[in-house]
Amino acid sequence: MAESLQDGQVLKVRDLEVKFYTYAGVVNAVSRISFEVYEGEVVALVGETGCGKTVTTRALTRLIEHPGRIENGSALFKRRNNEVVDLLKVPEEVIRDIRGNEIAYVFQDPTSALDPLYTVGTHIVETVTNHRKVKAKEVLRDAIRLLKEVVIPSPELRVKNYPHELSGGMRQRAVIATSLSNSPKLLIADEPTTNLDVTIQAQILELLKNLQAKYKMSLILITHNLGIVAEISDRVYIMYAGKIVEEALTTDLYYKPLHPYTQLLLRSVPNPLKRIEKLESIPGVVPSLINPPPGCRFYPRCPYATDVCRREEPSMIEVEPRHRVACWLYLKR
């Protein structure tokens, strides 16, 4: 293993590549992306729908299903016992034990994430007992505490409720409680508020932020909503068509967006604190991931595009400290 984790890093992903082998052709859903997550940090992963955010994070614990394949890359992860493992290479049983235990997920749609035939309590209990040898009774007590923690009223009753007996917001809280049940080191929240009412979105975000601090875990927050980003994240990765195009501290990103795509994104959100549902105001569409253009993937939509952008792919460079971008505008030739 050539690389190892630096101080304070929990996760270091290098050259991750995921492809889907469909009859139409090979979909390059994620193309050699690299990023890292530090302990106790909130990282936002931002991009339009279909740019590969979900696939990226699911690849971390090898949740990619047929016809998808993880082609390349490494994902070093520091486990609870401080052992560093490559998530993409460890045996199946180890990755199974890491899932839901050290790396937990909150999915986009709370309605479909919970099995309708099982109570909220059962979901929590099985998540714990499949990783640790404990009595179901004890876990049930713990489950009530967890539900209290995610601010579900009368948790003693709710723990016996079936998913359909809860409202959308409550369901997402229950999902979060389930994911927290093993106190994970890293929580991945995949657009946790997209399917919820606007009024509830803010509550859930605040909850996530509080819990992240309380549990001292790292949080990867996936969103296509830059408004959310400003509120809770420390650092941002901007994704476009299966690639990371910019990386910055949140404040830097708003202060001085470098990539033309980021600039357009921000312009379409006049006030970053005001939530906007879609980023559709940028003309053009995301290029097909089946045959991505050879040069810069943003080239067809970019107002500053030059000839070199079409021919050659820009590499990631550090323009300012902790602010990196992949764009020919910043590459001296």
Partner 1 sequence: MGLTTFLVRRAVTFVPTLLGVLLITYLIAYAVPTDPVRAWVGEKLMNPERLQEIREKYRFDRPWYEQFAFLVSELLSGRLEDPVRQRNVFTELFYRFPITVEVALIGFIFLVLIGIPLGVLAAVKKDSFIDFFVRIFALTGSSLPAFVLYYFLILGFFVYTHTTYLAGIPYPTQTCRDWIGSLPTTYPYVGNFISAIGSVPMFGAAMCGEWFVVADTFKRLYLPGLALGLLNGGFIARIVRNSLLDALGSEYVLFAKARGLKKLRIWRHVLKNAMIPVVTVLGINFGGLLSGAVIAETVFNIPGMGRYMYDSITRLNFPAIIAATFLFAIIYIVTNLVVDILYAAIDPRIRY
Partner 2 sequence: MSIVKAVYEALVKVINFYVLVRDKLSPGWSTKNSSRVKEWKLMAYAFSKSKIGVLGGMIVFVVTLLAIIGPLLAWEPYWEYKVVEDPELWYHPPCIPPWCSGYPLLGTDEWGRDIISLSFYGFRISFVISLFVVFLGAPLGILLGLVAGYKGGLIDEVIMRLTDIFIAFPGLILAIAFASVFPQRIRAFLEANTLLRDFLSFIFGLRPNEYAQLAAILSVWVAMVIVWWPGYARIVRGSVLSVREQPFIEAAKLVGLPTRKILIKHVLPNVLSPILVMMTFDLATATLFAAALSFLGLGPQEPVPELGYLISKAGNFFPERTAHIVLYYGTILLVIALGWNLLGDALRDVLDPRTRRSIEFREGG
Ligand X SMILES: Nc1ncnc2c1ncn2[C@@H]1O[C@H](COP(=O)(O)OP(=O)(O)O)[C@@H](O)[C@H]1O
Residue with smaller CB distance to ligand SF4, 131 or 301: 301
The strand ranges marked E within 7-141 are 9-22, 25-38, 42-46, 68-78, 84-86, 103-106
Candidates 23-31, 205-213, 266-274, 304-312 — which segment interacts with ligand SF4 by CB under 6 A? 304-312
Write each residue from 2 to 41 as x if it is in contact with Mg ion (CB under 5 A), else as -, in one continuous string: ----------------------------------------
Query: Using CB distances below 5 to 8 A depending on partner kind, what does residue 294 bind out of partner 2, ligand X, ligand SF4, none?
Result: none
What are residue 103's DSSP bridge partners?
A: 99, 186
Q: How many residues bind partner 2 (CB under 8 A)?
A: 5
**In this structure, what DSSP letter does residue 49 have?**
T
Nearest Cα to Cα of residue 243 among 307, 327, 186, 311: 327
134 binds partner 2 (CB under 8 A): no
Q: Please give the Cα distance from 4 to 214 (Å, whole number).
A: 28
CB of 184 to partner 1, least distance (A): 10
Selection from Mg ion, partner 1, ligand SF4, none that 126 binds (CB < 5 to 8 A by kind) is: partner 1
Could you say whether residue 38 binds partner 1 (CB under 8 A)? no
State how far the Cα of 116 lies from the Cα of 31, in Å rounded to an integer: 36
Measured from the CB atom, is 54 or 262 closer to Mg ion? Answer: 54
Sheet of 25-38: strands edge to edge?
25-38, 9-22, 68-78, 84-86
289 binds, among partner 2, ligand X, Mg ion, none (CB under 5 to 8 A by kind): ligand X
x/- map, 171-210, partner 1, by CB under 8 A: ----x--xx-------------------------------
Name the segment binding ligand SF4 (CB under 6 A); options: 69-77, 136-144, 193-201, 322-330: 322-330
| Residue 264 to residue 24: CA distance in whole angstroms | 31
Taking Cα atoms as reference points, which of 217, 228, 199, 263 lies closest to residue 46?
A: 228
- What is the spatial distance between Cα 24 and Cα 184, in angstroms, rounded to a whole number? 38
Does position 117 interact with partner 1 (CB under 8 A)? The reply is yes
- Pick what 52 binds: ligand X, Mg ion, ligand SF4, none; C-beta below 5 to 8 Å, kind-dependent: ligand X
Q: Does 66 bind partner 2 (CB under 8 A)?
A: no
Helix boundaries (H) for the chain: 53-60, 92-98, 110-113, 120-129, 136-149, 155-158, 168-180, 198-215, 226-232, 250-255, 260-268, 307-311
Question: In terms of CB distance, is 116 or 303 closer to partner 1?
Answer: 116
For binding to ligand X (CB under 6 A), which residues are involved? 20, 22, 27, 29, 47, 49-55, 67-68, 289
> What is the C-alpha to C-alpha distance for residues 147 and 170, in angstroms, rounded to an integer?
10
**C-beta atoms surrounding 209 within 10 Å:** 16
Range in contact with Mg ion (rule: CB under 5 A) among 17-25, 47-55, 164-172, 318-326: 47-55
Cβ pair 218, 301 in contact under 8 A: no
* Beta-bridge mates of residue 247: 237, 324
97 contributes a contact to partner 1 by CB under 8 A: yes
Residue ranges in contact with partner 2 by CB under 8 A: 22-25, 290
Residue ranges in contact with ligand SF4 by CB under 6 A: 259-260, 296, 298-299, 302, 304-305, 309, 314, 327-329
